[in-house]
Amino acid sequence: MEKNIESHLKETRVFKPARAFAKNARVGSLEDYRRMYRESIRQPEKFWAREARELRWQKPWKKVLEWKAPFAKWFVGGKLNVAENCLDRHLQGPRRNKAAIIWEGEPGDKRILTYQQLHREVCRFANVLKRNKIRKGDRVIIYLPAIPEAAIAMLACARIGAVHSVVFGGFSADSIRDRIADCGATAVITADGGFRRGAVVPLKHNVDEALQGGTTIRRVIVFRRAGNEIHIEEGRDVWWHRELEYVDAHCPAVPLDSEHPLYILYTSGSTGKPKGILHTTGGYLVGIYSSTKYVFDLREDDIYWCTADIGWVTGHSYVVYGPLAAGATTVMYEGAPNWPEPDRFWRIIEEYAVSILYTAPTAIRAFIRWGDQWLKKHDLSSLRLLGTVGEPINPEAWMWYHEKIGGGRCPIVDTWWQTETGAIMITPLPGAIPTKPGSATLPFFGVDPVIVDQRGREVGPNVGGKLIVRRPWPAMLRNIYGDKGRYQKQYWSEFKGNYLTGDGARRDRDGYFWIVGRIDDVLNVAGHRLGTSEIESALVSHPKVAEAAAVGRPDELKGQGVVVFVTLKSGVNPTPSLKKELRGHVGTHIGAIAKPDEVRFAEALPKTRSGKIMRRLLKEIAAGRTVTGDTTTLEDFSVLAKLGSAEE
């Protein structure tokens, strides 16, 4: 039988919530959290009904949950509209004139839309969709830069019951074509171009290429953003601004069944075929509304900035739907964090007095590499809460974030969740739960995660295993679009009736969860099963290392050898003696078994455009093979070329 994942990294630092923060927090003590959590597990229907009643329903539900594993229905028989809950319900009081979206374009252009203005724009564009024969249930591809129109398009689809599928603006024509074919979309909403690092990304050109050879698309609506020259196909393509001339701003929100599809979001499949993760209306909205409110401890005067692109689930849940459902002010920024200089994020925080920052560990490690001098130019004192999302954060990067960005005063919510879960699943609540650098800490309300061995038995403290979730939660995926069999097999078959997350984890003696990496990334070294994230954390704790990725390569003796790719901090020279030092450093922190067989220095690591390291590609390079498979999500192809030709 396969052994459990071993966990060797020890982290003893604990940060308790500051008294002043806890005093005003929505959940102000560990006792309060435990009481609420107990209720959410023992009486989930009572707990979630109370949360759901804070939203606006056009018809009340008959039953909170119907669960026939692996298929869930939440708020059965209820009718509501996501756009109405994000916009209309805020218009009766003072929020009407509150900023809903603060936006900054990469070239420096700026816009602020109040809730009333955003409502008007969404209603007008919803009428444009109707005018172009887009109906309830139709699938619509949204392929736009990070501009307010991306949120407007999403909300307009939700308002009329069309199902949107956002494709990240950095994806290629092939990615668009695959998604159109899979979901049978009838319309594309795009722009002429978008800005990225000073260049124009030719979005409309990519759409034209994707539509060659015939597809199900009947209409392409084009927003003028970059002013680049494009082709307009008569009878198929229309300009967004021209279409607005034919419509008014009156568009009542359509009452939709709680289980009506809201969106399909494609995520990479291990087979290379993208999976269309399907999220529905009622449960998803309740899940993200509730998590936004509690996890970020939202207050009426917060300026909240989640730096994700709307092409990812983080952008759906925590740039658009969650913050707007909660009546928050959400910041959107179009461009790269280091354009024109590496202090762009700090300039934005200072200018708009951002109080909550939610970003990725990859970005944080990039900031560390670029140097503290960029921070020192800016006043970051408006910040009161920090968050991380996308992957486990190394303890040393956590400490830097806490001390340098948060000034030692801001709690950090290190959140674990997935495209499939729809909402945050394991997280600190900032006024209640003491934090440990590198740990996502405790489960969110209604979430019942457990770590099991290969046979599905729960393991003890500090024993690594597979992370599963034992009961349904409101924001969970309902299906893989058009592939019920794949949905059941991939997520629910290994431990019947339990959701398999695909992540390895351990739980410490305080019950805190530590994610040790994707199960696919676990290394089998001489009979020991090691998580990659622990090896990477050990490397990043070295003062000369900015970022690291660990992968396995075939080894006749040990089964797998450990190869690490290391990016050094600026100004540090890669030397043979440093390789030796880093091997020893890992040995000291984890144990001799985890010592890398090979250390390879890299100027940069291959990453997806959402910032995740593409370990699959590194595995092929480490094994000396030619890189194959889908690379459309790769941010910078030159990184791959340099790694492939790098000297040993």
Per domain, the residue ranges of the chain are 5-81+262-514, 84-254, 522-645
* Closest C-alpha among 75, 30, 29 to residue 53: 75
- Angle separating helix axes 173-183 and 203-210, nearest 10 degrees: 50
pLDDT at 9 over 70: no
Average pLDDT over residues 334-351: 96
pLDDT at 648 over 50: no
Fold of 522-645: GMP Synthetase; Chain A, domain 3 (3.30.300)
Q: What is the pLDDT of residue 647?
A: 38
Residue 20 to residue 27: CA distance in whole angstroms: 13
Measured in degrees and rounded to the nearest 5, phi and psi for residue 160 equal -105, 0
DSSP state of 329: E
pLDDT at 302 over 80: yes
Q: How many CB atoms lie within 10 A of CB 337?
A: 18
Q: What is the pLDDT of residue 325?
A: 98
Average pLDDT for the chain: 92
State the pairing for strand pair 385-388/356-359.
parallel
Q: Is 532 helix (H, G, I), strand (E, B) or coil?
A: helix
Fold of 84-254: Rossmann fold (3.40.50)
Q: What is the pLDDT of residue 88?
A: 98
Check the CA dihedral 547-550-551-553 and report its sign: positive
How far CA 306 is from CA of 107, 288, 333, 437, in Å, comes to 20, 14, 9, 20
Average pLDDT over residues 588-616: 82
pLDDT: is 391 or 261 the higher one? 261
Average pLDDT over residues 333-342: 94
pLDDT at 345 over 80: yes
Q: What is the pLDDT of residue 521?
A: 73
Q: What is the pLDDT of residue 417?
A: 97
pLDDT: is 313 or 635 the higher one? 313
Measured in degrees and rounded to the nearest 5, phi and psi for residue 192 equal -60, -45
Residue 328 to residue 604: CA distance in whole angstroms: 36
Which strand (E) or helix (H) includes residue 129? Answer: helix 115-131
State the pairing for strand pair 412-414/385-388.
parallel
Which strand (E) or helix (H) includes residue 361? Answer: helix 361-370
Q: 491-510: per-residue pLDDT in tens? A: 999 999 999 999 999 999 99
User: CA-based angle 420:291:149, to the nearest 5?
Assistant: 75
* Closest C-alpha among 202, 199, 250 to residue 222: 202
Q: How many CB atoms lie within 10 A of CB 96?
A: 13
pLDDT at 8 over 80: no
Residue 245 to residue 160: CA distance in whole angstroms: 20
Residue 228 to residue 463: CA distance in whole angstroms: 56
Q: What is the pLDDT of residue 74?
A: 98
* Closest C-alpha among 153, 222, 141 to residue 184: 141
Q: In the sheet where 163-166 sits, what is the strand order?
A: 237-239, 219-223, 187-191, 139-143, 163-166, 261-267, 275-280, 479-480
Q: 415-434: per-residue pLDDT in tens? A: 999 999 999 999 999 999 99
Structure tokens at 98: 């509150």
Q: What percentage of the chain's residues is helix, strand, coil (to nearest 5)?
A: 30, 25, 45
Average pLDDT over residues 168-178: 87
pLDDT at 273 over 60: yes
State the pairing for strand pair 499-507/479-480.
unpaired
Residue 237 to residue 187: CA distance in whole angstroms: 10
Residue 446 to residue 570: CA distance in whole angstroms: 44
Q: What is the pLDDT of residue 530?
A: 76
Cβ distance 520 to 502 under 8 Å?
Answer: yes
If phi > 0 it is left, if psi is from -120 to 50 it is alpha, else beta; for residue 276 that is beta
Residue 50 to residue 637: CA distance in whole angstroms: 49
If phi > 0 it is left, if psi is from -120 to 50 it is alpha, else beta; for residue 417 that is beta
pLDDT at 557 over 90: no
Residue 574 to residue 30: CA distance in whole angstroms: 46
Q: 93-132: per-residue pLDDT in tens? A: 999 999 999 999 999 999 999 999 999 999 999 999 999 9
Cβ distance 103 to 332 under 8 Å?
Answer: yes
Q: 511-549: per-residue pLDDT in tens? A: 999 998 888 777 777 667 677 877 888 899 899 999 999
Q: 613: pLDDT confidence band, cut at 50, 70 and 90?
A: confident
Average pLDDT over residues 378-406: 95
DSSP code string of 236-247: TEEEHHHHHTT-
* Closest C-alpha among 531, 283, 524, 277 to residue 419: 277
Exposure letters 8-44 (e unless 16+ CB within 10 A, then b): bbeeeeebebeeebbeebbbbbbebbeebbeebbeeb
Which strand (E) or helix (H) includes residue 568? Answer: strand 559-568
DSSP state of 443: B
Same topology for domains 5-81+262-514 and 522-645, yes or no?
no
Average pLDDT over residues 397-413: 97
Cβ distance 98 to 324 under 8 Å?
Answer: no
Place of tokens 């159109």: 180
Highest mean pLDDT among 1-5, 102-106, 368-372, 637-641: 102-106
pLDDT at 475 over 80: yes
Residue 208 to residue 231: CA distance in whole angstroms: 8
Cβ distance 100 to 329 under 8 Å?
Answer: yes
pLDDT at 372 over 80: yes
| One-letter amino acid for residue 96 of the chain | R
Which strand (E) or helix (H) includes residue 103? Answer: strand 99-104
Average pLDDT over residues 450-476: 96
**Which of the following CATH numbers is that of domain 5-81+262-514: 3.40.50.12780, 3.90.1150.10, 3.30.70.1400, 1.10.1520.10?**
3.40.50.12780
Residue 217 to residue 194: CA distance in whole angstroms: 22
